[in-house]
Amino acid sequence: MAHLLDFEKPLADLEAKLSELRAFEAEDGSVDLSAQVAALETRVDTLRQSIYRGLTRWQRVQLARHPERPYTLDYIGALTSGFTELHGDRLFADDRALVGGPSTFRGSRYGSVDRAVMVLGHQKGRDTKQRKERRFGMPNPEGYRKAQRLMEMAAKFGKPIITFLDTPGAYPGLEAEERGQAEAIARNLLVMARLPVPIIIVVIGEGASGGALGIGVGDRVLMLENAWYSVISPESCSSILWRSWDHKEDAARALKLTAPDLIQHAVIDEIVSEPVGGAHRDPAATFDATGRAIATHLDHLLGLDTDALLDGRLAKFDAMGSFEER
């Protein structure tokens, strides 16, 4: 049975009634229920549009966490060919919460050309075993150091980089701190700011704090319509400000963490549309929209010389936020 969010249950009930009516009509051909079916279809469509076109910020957070939502390896499989996953940071171990390797972006599908690229991103699990192995998409320091190794390899061979962000944060365990979690993330920020190849970031689900930003510095930041991107999760923000998770919806409103919020503040460059109901409702359509957005920006960035590319990247992040000197 499909996973339902609380606000989706009224729609699911109505869709179930529609399915029952269609099944009854099909079984008993002597009864014409076409008018009733059409009327119920209209009600279903109206309710669907009402729910998904008026989502609150907290509801978008819930959609971003939907367990059936496409993950990084799904995007890599759909948008590229010949992907070869590389492992290990050459210092400590491999980290299955962050995957990456060379591949060929299928740009010819989206009005461009096929290009060799380096792809990487956070990877969550589909079942309990995978979630444990991948720590729910929360990398250890070796994950960020693996990402650094792959990105420097891409720069060495002049290949563009595409990263997919989907993490509730960097892993907060004691062993991660002992191995230099903050240093690994900070070093990636420095390295990514200086890499002389185009970097495209795509926020596909959750984009939480430094765990996301550790592979999130680039020339273009794209964000799926129902993803979220913030310095802190609504629950953690609520626990700090109100000493309880009960105010997570208030925190989500205050954080302004959705794609429409962030494009207004120039934190992201483009919102990638999702099917009504979220990316998991029609993954193929989501992959197509994402691929077209990547192809458009990649074509533009590859036309810039290195100085213009790096100057634009630094200017982009320098311009974020505002302050007053007193």
User: Is residue 95 pLDDT above 60, yes or no?
Assistant: yes
Domain boundaries, the chain: 7-54, 60-318
Q: Is residue 245 a contact partner of residue 204, using CB atoms and an 8 Å limit?
A: no
Domain 60-318 has CATH 3.40.50.300: no
Report the range of poorest mean pLDDT among 35-44, 92-101, 172-181, 254-263. Answer: 35-44
Structure tokens at 291: 């691929």
- How many beta carbons lie within 10 A of that of residue 323, not counting itself? 5
Distance set, CA 1 to CA 12, 66, 68, 283 (Å): 11, 14, 11, 18
Q: What is the token pair recorded at 214?
A: 């550790």
Contacts of 200 (CB under 8 A, 6+ apart): 160, 161, 162, 163, 218, 219, 220, 222, 294, 297, 298, 301
DSSP letters for 253-316 = HHHT-BHHHHHHTTS-SEEEP--TT-GGG-HHHHHHHHHHHHHHHHHHHTTS-HHHHHHHHHHH
Residue with tokens 């991948």: 134
Closest CA to 171 of 159, 161, 163, 179: 179
Mean pLDDT of all residues belonging to the chain:
95
Query: 1 pLDDT exceeds 60?
Result: no
Pick from 7, 5, 61, 58: which is nearest to 249 by CA? 58
Mean pLDDT across 295-305: 98
The predicted-structure confidence for 207-239, as pLDDT tens digits, reads as follows 999 999 999 999 999 999 999 999 999 999 999
For the segment 113-157, what is each residue's pLDDT rounded down to a tens digit?
A: 999 999 999 999 999 999 999 999 999 999 999 999 999 999 999
pLDDT single digits (tens) 152-187 = 999 999 999 999 999 999 999 999 999 999 999 999
Q: What pLDDT score was predicted for residue 155? A: 98
